[in-house]
Amino acid sequence: MGDPVLSNKGLGEIDITEVFSPLLLENKRYKVYYGGRGGGKSVAFAIAILIRCIQEKTQVLCTREFQNSIQDSVHRTFTKWIDIMGVSSHFEIQNNVIKCFNGSVISFQGLKRNITSIKSMEGIDICWCEEAENISAESWEILIPTIRQENSQIWISFNPRREDDPTYEMFVLNPPKDIILRKVCWQDNPFFPNVLDQERLACKERYPNKYRWIWDGECQQGDDDALWKHQDFVRVDGSGSIKEIIERYGIWYIAIGVDPAVSYSERSDSTGIVVAGIGRDNPIYVLADLTIHTEVNEWIHLLHNTYARYGADIILAEKNQGGDLIQNNLKHISRHFKYEGVTASKDKISRANEITFLYEEGLVKHVGELTELEYEMCTYTGGKNEKSPDRLDALVHVLKYLSAKIHRGNVKLIPSKPQDTVGNRMFGKNSVW
């Protein structure tokens, strides 16, 4: 991401660009910055907090909905900019907290699993809510009254996703009175780097609809002719390790759907890779969308590692679209995998239509955030000039296969101890993590 500040090592020479100056200069309860990729929101927030912590004793809580480890937080951003700003002598950087010489403290917590402990916190001057598009209404209801120190502020940064997300509804559509509200995108960042600009231009050419969401900071818009709407998705908690997620939902049979790209160029299709499994009482859980735009050998290695990490039972791909490519390449890496070719005799939209009933009946649950997959599902209509729906194709392969398995009863019944089937297969001596 480009640097939204001028940095010449000395604290007195750090100038935050004008759009972010209210972070330090205005006393408002809520300071909300939202918009597309490349606007520099996270870096500007971190720098403003560091300046505030040096200038006066400040207790800062940095939070997000899901934080499985400190690596998921903005701890790394603070560490980087402490060094760039030349203020390392002012701070003691610890594993889970950053302390300033004057008593300022920057701490990091996830909301989903720590909301009770956060509720009991006192003395928070600034609460920074990062990736706030993921924060639930329940978390907001508990967090806001928790930040109750006199003149305390809640700083919010996020990339919009849907208009009905709680964060967007609360702070953009129906903002409180005591608020600084700014939309910031790549155009507002004078330090927007060339490498990101190349990505932006490629996205604009290949995916114009997605471009408006990713780069222009607009909410995702579904298409009236698409098979799905955003409200069709049932989303469940995706926090924790792969092992924890599998045990949480009793997942005992896992398949990987692949829509392979047989060539690679800037204009070529991506390789769709979607992981899903059958859980306790037979719902299907979509576990991951690992779709990637890269060379064949790169996505083959990703597929192999994914098969090992999830302890998958099978890989599925179209017979007439790269199936042999997958088999032949994987055999050079490992012979310990199972592959089955899928026959696709209908057009893409007709094939996708065959799995809509699974969503209508509530038989499919999305684990965590599958934003780009859901976007593709809600915008693809089968139009003549539309790009190939790589994620959706991979999803169709895996959901059709798993639903057929359930219908035929062609998988063994779930044991009383799910870990007996996945324990040795996934987490024993031969597992890959």
What's 348's domain CATH number? Answer: 3.30.420.240
Q: Are residues 112 and 51 in the same domain?
A: yes
Domain boundary among 123, 154, 188: 188
Tell me the two tokens of residue 375.
């976007």
Give the per-residue pLDDT at 412.
44
Q: Are residues 174 and 235 in the same domain?
A: no
* 179 found inside a domain: yes
- Cα 356 to Cα 346: distance, rounded to the nearest angstrom: 15
Give the per-residue pLDDT at 257.
93
Tell me the two tokens of residue 270.
């991506």
Domain boundary among 188, 211, 246: 188
Identify residue 85 by its one-letter amino acid code: M
CATH number of 55's domain? 3.40.50.300
Residues of the chain with pLDDT under 70: 1-15, 67-72, 113-116, 222-223, 225, 320-324, 332-335, 344-346, 384-385, 408-433
What does the pLDDT look like over 192-206, one tens digit per residue? 999 999 989 988 887
The residue assigned the tokens 């190349």 is: 198
Q: Are residues 378 and 321 in the same domain?
A: yes
CA distances from 291 to 72, 355, 388 (A): 21, 20, 13
* 215 found inside a domain: no
Give the per-residue pLDDT at 433.
25
Number of structural domains (the chain) is 2
What does the pLDDT look like over 150-190, one tens digit per residue? 999 999 999 998 888 899 999 999 999 999 999 999 999 98
Q: Are residues 385 and 273 in the same domain?
A: yes
Strand 272-278 with 284-289, pairing: antiparallel
**4 burial type by CB count under 10 A (0-12 exposed, 13-18 middle, 19+ buried):** buried
Which pairs count as long-range contacts for 233-236, CB under 8 Å and 24+ apart, including other chains? 233/359, 233/366, 233/374, 234/362, 234/364, 234/365, 234/366, 235/365, 235/366, 235/367, 235/368, 235/369, 236/285, 236/365, 236/366, 236/367, 236/368
Q: Are residues 271 and 388 in the same domain?
A: yes
Q: Is the overall model pTM greater than 0.85, yes or no?
A: no
User: What size, in residues, is the chain?
Assistant: 433
* 63 found inside a domain: yes
Give the per-residue pLDDT at 333.
65
Identify residue 16 by its one-letter amino acid code: I
Give the per-residue pLDDT at 422.
39
Angle at which helices 371-379 and 390-408 cross, to 10°: 90
Q: Which domain holds residue 362?
A: 230-427
Give the per-residue pLDDT at 344.
67
Give the per-residue pLDDT at 238.
87
Give the per-residue pLDDT at 78.
94
